[in-house]
Structure 1
Amino acid sequence: MRKPRDFDSEMKALNERAKLLKDRKLYQLGELVIATGADSLSVEHLAGALLAVIETKDGATMEGWRKRGAAFFQRTARKSGSNAGHSVGCKPAGHDVAESAAREAGA
Structure 2
Amino acid sequence: MRKPRDFDAELRALSEKAAQLKTRKVQQFGELVIATGADTLSIEELTGALVTIAATNDPQKREAWARKGEAFFQGKARKGGKRTQGDAQCGAKDPDSDPAH
Partner of 2:98: none
What amino acid maps onto 1:72 in structure 2? F
Hey, what's the Cα distance between the residues in 1 that align with 2:58 and 2:75?
A: 26
2:25 equivalent to 1:30: no
Q: Deviations over 1:46-96 (max 9, x none)?
A: 0010000000000000000000000000017x99xxxxxxxxxxxxxxxxx
Query: Alpha carbon RMSD of aligned pairs, Å?
Result: 1.6
Partner of 2:47: 47
TM-score by length of 2: 0.74
Hey, what's the Cα distance between the residues in 1 that align with 2:54 and 2:25?
A: 18
2:70 equivalent to 1:70: yes
2:50 equivalent to 1:61: no
Runs ≥4 in structure 1, deviation > 4 angstroms?
none
Which runs of 5 or more residues in structure 2 are unaligned? 80-101
- SS of 1:24's equivalent in the other structure is helix
What amino acid maps onto 1:73 in structure 2? F
Which runs of 5 or more residues in structure 1 are unaligned? 80-107
TM-score by length of 1: 0.70
Percent identity between the two aligned chains: 59
C-alpha deviation, 1:26, in angstroms? 0.3
**What is the aligned length?**
78
Q: Deviations over 1:13-49 (max 9, x none)?
A: 0000000000000000000000000000000100010
What amino acid maps onto 2:62 in structure 1? M
Higher RCO, Cα 8 Å, sep 6+: 1
Partner of 1:90: none
